[in-house]
């Protein structure tokens, strides 16, 4: 199956009442693992590259690895997505390369660290929507600011929870296909120091946004579950991960029942590959 637009994938997910995993990649091995899992579970999949990943692996390498995935797994609907584009120019470069979906993260300024104003966010996101829709490319926007840092992108700290009223206004003014919201999740392995509850993970805000925007596809960033068994493998073979908790699967499922169609995962796959490499190096020196 050729690469598809993310809008097409998320529309189908909305009809079926499910969410689609979106996995960050940097290299061939990660793509191979994701595609094997997608085949095993007969699931559509979103493979996404951040600006850091594109710089690390060079655009053409990464693009052709993703293209190869679509050829080797023709039965899997596959989206090639830019994660956390920091400017109109960054998004345009991904569109020109052949990405079928882009995220314009206008919640932060072009430095990827400083929170932007609402009006700045609307303006850059609207420009990307106009550019992308001419070519049938999906656009994800973000309102609110996520905590943590991913590939050098992020405001750090705990972020700023999305205002439901602003979310409605943002969608109306930009025309985005999908909306990333901030509800207390964050990038990185150290999301929560204990199992999160309603005081840190604002699922009530998500539910309220879905009530106000029932036809909009919502996105949960920073949604790795950080499973303890993956942490244990790393620490068993010389790692020094401090105790940490991710987003519980049941909270992700609650989100899916309330409009979440794209679930971003990065840390979990990094934990898995790190633990596997450590184990092999120790057991097969």
Count of domains in the chain? 1
Confidence at 145, pLDDT banded by 50, 70, 90: confident
1 domain residue, yes or no: no
Given 83, 105, 151, 177, which residue is catalytic? Answer: 83
The overall pTM is greater than 0.85? yes
CATH code: domain of residue 175: 3.20.20.70
75 domain residue, yes or no: yes
> What mean pLDDT do residues 48-57 have?
91
64 domain residue, yes or no: yes
Q: How is residue 1 annotated by DSSP?
A: -
> What mean pLDDT do residues 112-116 have?
88
274 domain residue, yes or no: yes
Express each pLDDT in 179-206 by its tens digit: 999 998 887 888 888 888 777 899 999 9
User: HEC string of 61-120?
Assistant: HHHHHHHHHHHHCCCCCEEEEEEEECCHHHHHHHHHHCCCEEEECCCECCCCCCECCHHH
Residue 203 lies in domain: 6-283
Q: Alpha-carbon distance 275 to 27, whole Å?
A: 17
- DSSP secondary structure, 127-158, as one string: HHHHHHHTTT-EEEEEESB-BS-BTTBS--TT
Q: Is 83 a catalytic residue?
A: yes
Q: Alpha-carbon distance 161 to 87, whole Å?
A: 22
Express each pLDDT in 62-80 by its tens digit: 999 999 999 999 999 999 9
110 domain residue, yes or no: yes
């Amino acid at each position: 199956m050729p690469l598809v637009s993310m809008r097409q994938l998320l529309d189908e997910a909305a009809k079926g009442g499910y969410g689609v995993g979106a996995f960050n990649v940097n290299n061939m091995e990660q793509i191979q693992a994701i595609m094997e899992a997608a085949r095993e579970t007969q699931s559509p999949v979103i493979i996404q590259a951040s600006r850091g990943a594109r710089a690390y692996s060079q655009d053409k390498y990464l693009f052709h690895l993703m293209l190869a995935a679509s050829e080797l797994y023709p039965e899997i609907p596959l989206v090639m997505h830019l994660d956390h584009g920091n400017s109109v120019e960054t998004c345009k470069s991904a569109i020109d390369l052949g990405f079928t979906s882009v995220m314009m993260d206008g919640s932060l300024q072009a430095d990827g660290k400083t929170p932007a104003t609402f009006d700045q966010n609307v303006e850059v996101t609207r420009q990307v929507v106009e550019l992308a829709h001419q070519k049938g490319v999906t656009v994800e926007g973000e309102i609110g600011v996520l905590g943590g840092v991913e590939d050098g992108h992020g405001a750090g700290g705990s972020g700023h929870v999305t205002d439901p009223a602003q979310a409605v206004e943002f969608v109306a003014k930009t025309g985005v296909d999908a909306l990333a919201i901030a509800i207390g999740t964050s990038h990185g392995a150290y999301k929560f120091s204990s199992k999160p509850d309603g005081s840190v993970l604002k699922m009530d805000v998500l539910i309220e946004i879905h009530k106000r925007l029932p036809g909009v596809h919502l996105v949960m960033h920073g949604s790795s579950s950080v499973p303890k068994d993956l942490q244990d493998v790393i620490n068993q073979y010389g790692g020094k991960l401090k105790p940490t908790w991710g987003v519980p699967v049941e909270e992700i499922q609650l989100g899916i029942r309330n409009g979440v169609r794209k679930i971003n995962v990065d840390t979990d796959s990094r934990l898995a590959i790190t633990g596997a490499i450590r184990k092999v190096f120790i057991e097969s020196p």
